[in-house]
Structure 1
Amino acid sequence: MLVEKNTPLQDCNTFGIVASADTLVRVRSVADVQDFAASPVYRGRRSFVLGGGSNIVLTGDVVRAVVVKVEIPGIRLLEETERHWIVEAGAGERWHDVVAWTVAHGYPGLENLALVPGTVGAAPVQNIGAYGIELQDRFHSLDAVDLRSGAVFSLDAGQCAFGYRDSVFKHAPSSNGLGMGLAGCAVITTVRLALPKPWKPELSYLDLQRRQQEEGVEQPTAQQIFDWVCAIRRAKLPDPAVIGNAGSFFKNPTVSEDQCRDILAREPKIVHYPMDDGSIKLAAGWMIDACGWKGKSLGHAGVYDKQALVLVNRGTGGVNVTGGEVMTLASAIQTSVYERFGIRLEPEPVVV
């Protein structure tokens, strides 16, 4: 493992917030993670696991926790069964690179998740999802290291307790030590994905259906869907390399049918989607836009003018956005949406 002191983190978070790590430890193998867990220098200190930095908001000048930067590489076809291709990837690989690799090698199933920012190791933490597919739909298992003991363990989908942008890795252990939360207690090192045979395209989202009609393709290939998703996302969402952001800032809230009926009576144009469990998902971006926030700013934090669900860094001339400005804007948006719709929006990023 490589240990760095007083390391700038601006290039390690896609919002481009200026902050530094008191101590940053780069881990590039399972052995590195185990060495970190065993080190008496770090035992008992709070740690913060950092992947691609695409889903965090840094609110202080210095992160006092030990920042564990996961950089474990590797992509390979681990196994082929009658029903699946099992692809294994290191937690430090960029997620989009893995999607592109699977499509290029003829292992379809991840194409709807193209251009989702972040690393492979962060994907199960957040249970990433886009255009009708969530990670849990393609997940096989993962390996991780317990930072309390240094032991390597594996989890399947059930043990990860996936939910909407949720998993066991987002919850702290209970005070009695019996809870299943693993936040701050484990580092994911390897993720395995089960890609389906036979494959069929997922075209439930209207944007993809429109692309299909425009191009007159009756049976699109995984490569075509990959290309469509990339084009749609690039048209709607800002490139973090150009405009700092953390992707979708708020989760789309879910409500019961009765709650949705009440809201529709007041707001008949609200965008909503029925879910398999009978609940209704509401479009957070639509609600934020309806409250007049699209394109607006507070300080150097702003709402993207093409997608109200994305908050952006509007710092210029060497003056950068702060995490405090981002969270002030987020709080103001939450208040507006709650006052109009009676819905409390929940942020997606981890606030550090």
Structure 2
Amino acid sequence: MAENSAMQIEPDVSLKSLNTFGLPAVAGRLVRITSDADVRRVVDHPDLGRAPKFVLGGGSNVIFTRDMPELVLKVEVMGQRLVEERADAWIVEIGAGERWHDAVAWTLDQGWPGLENMALIPGTVGAAPVQNIGAYGLELQDRFESLDTVDLLTGRTVTLDAWQCRFGYRDSIFKGALAGKSVITRVRLRLPKPWQPILGYLDLERKMAETGCTTPDARTIFEWVCQIRRAKLPDPAHIGNVGSFFKNPVVTPEQCRDIIARDPHVVHYPMEDGHFKLAAGWLIDACGWKGKTIGHAGVYEKQALVLVNRGGAIGSEVQTLARAIQESVYGRFGIRLEPEPVVV
């Protein structure tokens, strides 16, 4: 959409193909956002400016349980460029509407490694900071420089650094104080020089043992991560899902010892602050949920952390299944699992 073009308001848009779980929902009104100016047009609009709004990226982190009376802002800001090359890093800027995996592949193609551990994470670049996405020992905040966001009240573009984004484990200010109040349009990432591989995860250690390659380059790690994820996780194009459905719970050393005493095989990882992260998928599997189904929503046969659409699922069925799993895990381990996706 050109800077001076009129805003297109699309009525009664089906969101089924715009969320990776493939859940039915209809947006009463939808506007596609391709620039900061598009957001300002919405803010300045006599009717839409005051309307409640819902920001939609790639739809890989949302569970629709109803139709959307809110104005849906579909973020489609594109573009990829090198902003600056420093002695210690490359700074790249990527439009919020670009697919995250495509952005990871693009940086590697340019010879700028550093994102390879986060290959194949579903969703868009703009959604990545909201969730502080992460995989295989790396989180977005580890590679974050800054982002641009447009305020939905004033229409002003504001640049936020990592501290202002308040990153936490699968968390940020965009899930708290700024939830529904701004639209991320561009993200800048810092890819450090010299490059250092991150290989501390069990699955990557297995790949090193299998291949005999103990000093993989970034492209090799990228390919390994893609292979691991494809073996474990269903492709949303074929089986509706949002990737990992629950956060890995973080517990105190005392809690971890207590669980290990009862279940010595529990998968756990030490954290820098002394806490331990437990594998939510292991906890769910231990409660016997792998492969189970409620209505048309089920638990994936190869990975208990992933809930899937068996065909024709609706949001309430996903909610019912998720709550049953939460109750089951709490009953056995005394741990409350927290969902990763936003439920609306």
Taking structure 2 as the reference length, the TM-score comes to 0.97
Equivalence for 2:25: 19
1:270 counterpart SS class: coil
Alpha carbons 1:2, 1:27 under 8 Å: kept: no
Deviation sequence 1:240-287 (CA, Å, 0-9, x none): 000000110000000100111111111111111110011010110000
Tell me which of 239, 260, 263 is aligned to 2:259. 263
Give yes or no for contact 2:53–2:73 (8 Å, CA) kept in 1.
yes
**Equivalent pair of 2:43/2:50 in contact (CA under 8 Å):** no
Is 2:292 the partner of 1:296? yes
Question: CA-to-partner distance for each residue in 1:116-165, whole Å, 9 max, x for gaps?
Answer: 00000000000000000000000000000000000110100000000000
What is the RMSD of the two structures over their aligned residues, measured on CA atoms? 0.7
Number of matched residues? 338
- Counterpart for residue 54 of structure 2: 48
1:106 equivalenced with 2:111 (yes/no): yes
Match of 1:206 in 2: 202
Q: TM-score, normalising length from structure 1? A: 0.95
After superposing on structure 2, the runs of 4+ consecutive aligned residues of structure 1 that deviate more than 6 Å are none
Structural mapping, 1:148-187, within 5 Å: 148-171=153-176, 181-187=177-183
For residue 219 of structure 1, report the CA deviation from its aligned partner.
1.6
Counterpart position of 2:232: 236
Whole-Å separation in 2 of the counterparts to 1:166 and 1:218: 33
Letter in 2 for 1:326: V
Partner of 2:328: 336
Alignment of 1:53-72 (within 5 A): 53-60=59-66, 62-72=67-77
Q: Which amino acid aligns with 1:225?
A: I
* Helix, strand or coil at the partner of 2:207: helix
Alpha-carbon separation, structure 2, partners of 1:80 and 1:3: 40
Where structure 2 has 5 or more consecutive residues not aligned to the other structure, the ranges are: 1-6
Percent of residue pairs identical = 66
Structure 1 residue 218 displacement after superposition: 2.6
- Given the alignment of the two structures, is residue 248 of structure 1 paired with residue 244 of structure 2, yes or no? yes
Amino acid at match of 1:232: I
- TM-superposed CA distance for 1:44, in Å, is 2.1
CA distance in structure 2 between the aligned counterparts of 1:329 and 1:151, rounded to whole angstroms: 41
Question: Secondary structure of the equivalent of 1:193?
Answer: strand
CA separation in 2, counterparts of 1:152 and 1:29? Answer: 11
Which range moves more in the overlay, 37-46 or 305-314?
37-46
Instruction: Tell me how far 1:41 sits from its aligned partner.
Output: 1.3
User: For residues 282 and 218 of structure 1, what CA distance do their matches in structure 2 show?
Assistant: 27
Measured after TM superposition, the shift of residue 216 of structure 1 is 1.6
* Structure 1 SS opposite 2:329: helix
